[in-house]
């Protein structure tokens, strides 16, 4: 009988099993919380692996450096970070890698840090068969704790921005075959490639949450980011909070030029690497936030029931048969 392999158990089960070696709930969110006497710290690690997350035909070194930083800052923001202190960088590179590639990578890293805050604190270098950029980011916990397990039945589900664009950008950069019956606007193509190569995050998110909060007793809200896709983000929130996510398909924000059809719905919900924030709030708070931040949209609500996702339009539930991106 074959020994159990990672491809058999998958990423989520692997993380669950690794969690048994750690303090309780240490793996329930992307960031680890470290409590100190003065300000609590958030610590995150994210890695980009050649031929898993990127290759030289889809993204240049400078854009890759930017993206490596953004993937970490997105996780910090989704946990309630109010400031990024800095990052450490571990590089694994083939010995034949040209210096100009490394230089461009660090230019992209510094551009992202200049825009969103933080400095390079140090790191490590080693040789390997494929390029790997692994970043550990440090942030300062803000006044609100954002955690996956803090969603409640009755909460409104919201998301920043638009999903699916990064997936389309990747497909365009990879020159993959698209639906021959669909004509994509040049504006959508350009926007999608930009979204894939130079994703953006929301540094004012926490500030706007605090500005619109009328109940100062609330210290925790449910939140994650959509780095693994909108569906996976919703599923993570539902499972961690033990409630059912009901999604209103008609309210889900899409680019005005986004094509219609089942395949394009799949790209939208399961594409990944959009780095949007997916979260829940009490109804009154949600309405106030949407008024001052037009990048945020209500897409559904949480209800009592088995941890799961369903659409209010039953005809769309066939979408749920698709599977999220797998690292193994």
**Nearest residue to 271 via CA among 172, 130, 133:** 172
What are the DSSP E strand ranges found in the chain?
Answer: 32-34, 41-49, 81-93, 119-127, 132-141, 145-147, 156-160, 220-225, 244-247, 277-281, 296-303, 308-311
Is the torsion defined by CA of 263, 269, 275, 276 positive or negative?
positive
pLDDT-based confidence at 327, cuts 50/70/90? low
Residue with tokens 């009154």: 284
Integer CA distances (angstroms), 194 to 81, 127, 198, 200, in order: 25, 31, 5, 10
| Integer Cα distance of 224 and 234 in angstroms | 8
Q: Which of 225 and 215 is assigned the larger pLDDT? A: 225
Residue 55 burial (CB count, 10 A): 14
* Span(s) in the chain for CATH 3.90.650.10: 145-321
Q: Which helix (H) or strand (E) element contains residue 268?
A: helix 262-270
pLDDT-based confidence at 6, cuts 50/70/90? confident
Residue 141 scores a pLDDT above 60? yes
Q: What pLDDT is recorded for position 18?
A: 85
Residue 86 scores a pLDDT above 70? yes
Region 59-65: mean pLDDT is 97
Q: Which CATH number fits domain 31-141: 3.20.20.80, 2.40.50.140, 3.30.1330.10, 3.40.50.450?
A: 3.30.1330.10
- Lowest mean pLDDT across 66-80, 177-191, 200-214: 177-191
Supply the CATH classification number for the domain 145-321.
3.90.650.10
Q: What pLDDT is recorded for position 177?
A: 79
Q: Which of 108 and 2 is assigned the larger pLDDT? A: 108
Residue 30 scores a pLDDT above 60? yes
pTM (2 decimals)? 0.92
Q: What pLDDT is recorded for position 326?
A: 67
**Nearest residue to 252 via CA among 174, 187, 319, 152:** 319
Query: Taking all residues of the chain, what is their mean pLDDT, rounded to a whole number?
Result: 93
| Integer Cα distance of 233 and 226 in angstroms | 5
The pLDDT tens digits of the residues spanning 224-251 come to: 999 999 999 999 999 999 999 999 999 9
Residue 87 scores a pLDDT above 60? yes
Alpha carbon 4 to its chain's center: 29
Q: What pLDDT is recorded for position 20?
A: 82
Percent of the chain predicted with pLDDT > 70: 98
- Tell me the residue length of the chain: 328
């Amino acid at each position: 009988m074959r020994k159990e392999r990672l491809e058999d158990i998958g990423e989520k089960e692997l993380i669950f099993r690794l969690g048994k070696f750690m303090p309780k709930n240490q793996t329930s969110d992307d960031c680890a919380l470290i409590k100190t006497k003065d300000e609590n710290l958030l610590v995150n690690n994210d890695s980009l692996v050649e031929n898993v997350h990127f290759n030289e035909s889809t993204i240049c070194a400078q854009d890759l450096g930017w993206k490596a930083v953004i993937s970490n800052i997105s996780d910090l923001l989704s946990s309630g970070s109010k400031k990024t202190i800095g990052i450490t960088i571990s590089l694994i590179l083939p010995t034949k890698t040209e210096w100009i590639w490394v230089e461009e990578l660090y230019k992209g890293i510094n551009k992202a840090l200049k825009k969103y805050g933080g400095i390079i604190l140090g790191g490590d270098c080693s040789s390997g068969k494929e390029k790997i950029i692994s970043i550990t980011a440090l942030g300062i916990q803000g006044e609100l704790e954002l955690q996956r397990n803090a969603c409640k039945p009755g909460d409104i589900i919201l998301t920043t921005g638009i999903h699916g664009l990064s997936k389309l950008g990747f497909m365009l950069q990879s020159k993959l075959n698209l639906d021959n019956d669909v004509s994509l606007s040049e504006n959508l193509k350009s926007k999608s490639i930009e979204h894939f190569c130079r994703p953006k995050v929301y540094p004012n998110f926490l500030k706007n949450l605090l500005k619109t909060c009328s109940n100062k007793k609330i210290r925790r809200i449910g939140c994650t980011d959509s780095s693994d896709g909108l569906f996976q983000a919703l599923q993570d929130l539902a499972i961690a909070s033990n409630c059912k996510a009901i999604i209103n398909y008609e309210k889900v924000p899409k680019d005005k030029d986004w094509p219609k059809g089942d395949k394009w719905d799949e790209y939208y919900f399961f594409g990944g690497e959009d780095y949007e924030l997916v979260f829940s709030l009490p109804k009154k708070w949600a309405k106030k936030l949407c008024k001052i931040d037009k990048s945020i949209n209500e897409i559904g609500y949480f209800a009592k029931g088995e941890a799961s996702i369903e659409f209010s339009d039953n005809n769309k539930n066939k979408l749920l048969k698709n599977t999220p991106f797998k690292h193994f």
